[in-house]
A and B are shown apart, each in its own frame.
Chain A
Amino acid sequence: MNLFSLVLVNLGRNKLRTFLTLASVTVALFLFISLRGVLDTLHSSIEVGSRQRLITRNAISLVFPMPQSYGNRIAAVPGVRSVGVQNWFGGQDPRGAQYFYPQFAVDESFYPIYRNDVEIVEASQPTVPAAVPEGADPKLAAYYSEQTACVVGEKLMKKNGWKLGQTVTLSGTIYPGNWPLTIRAVYRAKNPAFGDETMFFQFKYLEQKGMGGSGRVGVYVLDLSDPERSAAVAKQVDGMFENSSAATRTESEQAFQAGFVSMYGNIPFVLNVIGLAVVFAILGIAANTMMMSMRERTTEFGVLKTLGFTDGTVFTLVLIEAAIITVGGGVLGALLAKLIVTGASTGFLPPLTIYWSSVALGIGIATLIGAISGLIPAFQASRLRIVDALRRVD
C-alpha cells in the first residue's frame, strides 16, 4: 500500500467531516474569486478604451454639455478621422428606478467608430429606403430611417423580455417628458467591457425634442487615424476652446474610463479587505479540522511509527491529507466561480469576467492554506513519541 492510498483511506474515514471541510473551502474560494472578478472587471472596464480613440468633454465636468458647433471644428483637426457624439440620457423605466439601465443618444458616426466592438445580431427590415453611413452595419438601415428608433444590448433585451419592433417608453429626468423608442436593432458586444446592457438612440431625436433644437453635446468621441499622434491631437483640441465659454478636456478613452473607476473611491480597497478576511476564515476552519482529525488519530500514529514509518513519512502523510482537502475545495470553488459568476451583471459595471489567472491565484491560495493548516498537526504527529501515543487511552 503506498502513501497516497493511505491518505485516501484516511480521508474516507470520516466522510462527513471531509465533506464539510471541503465544502467550506469551496464556498470561501468561490467568494474570494468572485470578489476578484468584481475588481478585475472594474479594472478591465478601463480597457474598453482603445488608444485609437479620444474623448472630449467639458472641462468643468461631464455634466456640462458643449456646443454642437465644436464637432466640425474638432473634425478638422489633422489626425482626426471622424467625430461621434454621445450624450447621456438618464431616462427612467416607468416601472421604477430599480430597473435602471444606461441610455445614450448618439449620432450617425457613432456606429462606424465602434464597429469593431459591437455586432448587430438582429434588426428590423426598413420600411422606407434609408442610407446607412459608410462604415456602419447595413443591418442598421431600419434604425437610421426612423427618428425614434433605438438599438438595444442583447442582455438588456432578455432581461426585460423585449421583442424587436417593440416600443419602450422612457420618462426623462434630465430631458423631461415621455420618450417612446422603438427597438429596431439588437447588438452584441464583441468586446466584453463594452457591455450588452445599454440602449442607444438617435441624437437628432434628443436634440429636437429635448433641447429645443439648440444642440448641446455631452461628449465627443474622436476616432484617430494615427494613434501615435493622440497627445498632440488632444492638446490641439483643448487649445482651440481654451478661452471660450465651454473649455474642453480631451483625454484617451482609457483615461476617461479610468476616471469612472476612480469614482468608486475606496470600494475596491474594501473588497480586498473582505477577500483577505475570507481567506483567514477558511484558514482557521481548515487548520481546526486538521487538528481535530489528528488528535483523534494519535494512537494510530503510534502504531504507524511502530510499524516503521519514519517521522518524515508521517509528516508528509498529514500534510498531503490537508492539501487534498483544501486544494480540492479550492479548485472546485474557483471553477464554480468561473462558471457561475462570469457574465453576471451588476448594474453599473460591465458583465463580470473571471480571468483564468484569478482561478490560478485561488488554487494557489488554497494550496498555501493547505500547507499552513497542515503544518502544525503534521509537525505534532511527526514529533510524537511512540510510547506517548500508545499510552494514551481515549
Chain B
Amino acid sequence: MAIPFVYNVRHVMNRPMSTLTTALGIGLTVAILIGALALASGFRASLVSTGRDDNAIVLRKGADSEISSGISRDNANIVRALQEIATGPDGRPLVTADLVVVTNRERLGQSGSSNVTVRGVDASAITIRGGVKITAGRMFTPGTDEVIIGRRIAGRFKHCAVGDRIRFQQRDFTVVGHFSSGGSAFESEVWGDVEVLMPALDRDNTYQTIVFRMRDPQQFPALKARLEADPRLQVQVQIERRFFAKQSELFTGLITGVGLFITIIMAVGALFGAANTMFAAIGSRTREIAMLLVLGFSPRAVMVSFMFESVLIAALGGVLGILMALPVNGITSSTTNFTSFSELAFQFQVTPQAMMQGMGFALALGLLGGFFPALRASRQRLSTALRGG
C-alpha cells in the first residue's frame, strides 16, 4: 500500500524556508537553462523567418553565406529568364538579384561601431520577401539614392532616422522609411535599390544572391538539378528558408552548447543541495519512518514516498525557474552573426517547449537528488531507528 501523498505535502509545507531555498537553487538552474534555450530559439527564429518555403535562393557554388557568394550580371540574367519563376499581380516575374555587403556603422548612444548588412534589392523584393511592411515614412523610389532601414537597427545606429542622410563610401543616401518583416533578420538591414547601391559600393556587376518565387515549389528538385548542372552558372540552389535556417546553426549550436554546459555544472551544485535537504528531512524523521515501516508500509512504499517528496520540491523549483525566466521573453538583444559577419537583433523567445524542457530538467534533478536519501530511508533497520533519534 502506498503512503498518502498528503503526508509529503504537509511535511514540505512544514519547513517552508528549507523547501524554498532548495527549490530556489533548482529554480535558478532551470531559469538559466530556459534562458539559454530562449536565446537560441530567438536567434534561430529571426533567421528562419527570414526565408520562405516557396522561394529559391541561388548562390555561387561553394559559398556558405550570402556575403561569400557572387553571381555575375550575365548569369543573373540567365536565372531571371527562367520559366519556373512566378509572376506578380503586375505580370512581372518575382525575382530579385541582391547585393549583400557588410558596412561598418557607428552605434547610436554608445561608443564603438558594429557591422550592418546593406542589401541592394529589386523593387519587387517587398513582394517576394513576404511580410515586409513599411512602419514609418515610405518605400524607396527605384533609381534614386534613397534607402529604407530595418526597424530593429533604426534606434541602434547613427544616421538611421527617417530624413537623415547616411553615407556609404563617397555617396550620401537619404533615409526615407523604416520597415518591419515579422522579426526576421531583414529588420537588422539597410535596403536600397541594387542598381544604385552597386556602383556606390564599388561592386560592379556582381550580385551576391538571386531569390525568386517558384511557380510550383513541387518542381524544386528538378529545377535545382538543372541549374546546378548548368556549366555556365556554377551555382547552388536552395530553398530560401532552409538556407537561412542553416545560417543560424553555428550560433545556436554554440549557445545551446554553452547553455547546457553551464546548466549541467549548476545542476550538479543544485543536486547536492537537494540531496542535502532530503537527507536532513529524512534524518529528522528517522523515528517517524520506522513507525511507517512498523505499521506495515513496505520499504518500497517509503522509498516512493520520499522520492515523491523530493520531486515535489524540485517541481516547485521548476515552477520558480519558469517564473524567473519568463520576464526574459521578448527582450531584444543583439549579437554578431558570424556567418553574415554583421549585427543581428533578435528577441528572446521563451517557448512552451523550453518551459517543458526546464520542468523536465527540474523533475529529473528531483528524482536524482532524492534517490539516495529515499533509499537510505527505506533501508533503515527498525531496531536502531526506533531506539534512537
Contact = CB atoms under 8 A, between A and B. Distances in A.
Interface string B332-348: 01111010010100000
A16 interface: yes
Main secondary structure, interface of A, reads helix
Q: How large is the interface on B (under 10, 10 to 19, 20 to 34, 35 or more residues)?
A: 35 or more
A17 B268 CA distance: 15
B18 A288 contact: yes
B227 to A, nearest CB: 17
Interface string A247-284: 10100000000110011111100100010011011101
Contacts of B25: 281-282, 284-285, 288
Interface stretch (A79-87, A146-154, A169-177): A169-177
A97 B63 CA distance: 12
A278 B266 contact: yes
Given A24-B270, A287-B21, A280 B28 contact: yes
B97 interface: no
Contacts of A394: 284, 389
A300 B338 CA distance: 62
A90 interface: yes
B279 A63 contact: no
Contacts of B250: 97
Contacts of A61: 101-104, 115
Interface string B23-43: 011001101100100010000
Contacts of A62: 102, 104, 115, 341
A141 interface: no
Interface stretch (B64-72, B146-154, B173-181, B297-305): B64-72
Contact of B17 (A23, A24, A263, A291): A291
Q: Most chain-B CB neighbours within 10 Å: which of A21, A243, A289?
A: A289
Interface string A281-311: 1101101110111001000000000000000
Given A17-B276, A173-B62, A263 B18 contact: no
A245 B202 contact: yes
Contact of A20 (B29, B62, B112, B275): B275
A296 B284 contact: yes
A35 B266 CA distance: 12
Nearest to B376: A16
Given A31-B266, A277-B31, A291-B18, A172 B62 contact: yes
Contacts of A258: 112
A267 B333 CA distance: 9
A152 to B, nearest CB: 22
Contacts of A284: 21-22, 24-25, 28, 273
B68 A90 contact: yes
Contacts of B65: 173
B171 to A, nearest CB: 11
Interface of A: 14, 16-17, 20-21, 23-25, 27-28, 30-31, 35, 59-64, 90, 92, 97-98, 171-174, 176-177, 243, 245-247, 249, 258-259, 262-267, 270, 274, 277-278, 280-282, 284-285, 287-289, 291-293, 296, 347-348, 394
Interface of B: 17-18, 21-22, 24-25, 28-29, 31-32, 35, 39, 60-65, 67-68, 101-104, 112-115, 168-170, 201-202, 249-250, 253-254, 262, 265-266, 268-273, 275-277, 279-280, 283-284, 333-336, 338, 341, 343, 389
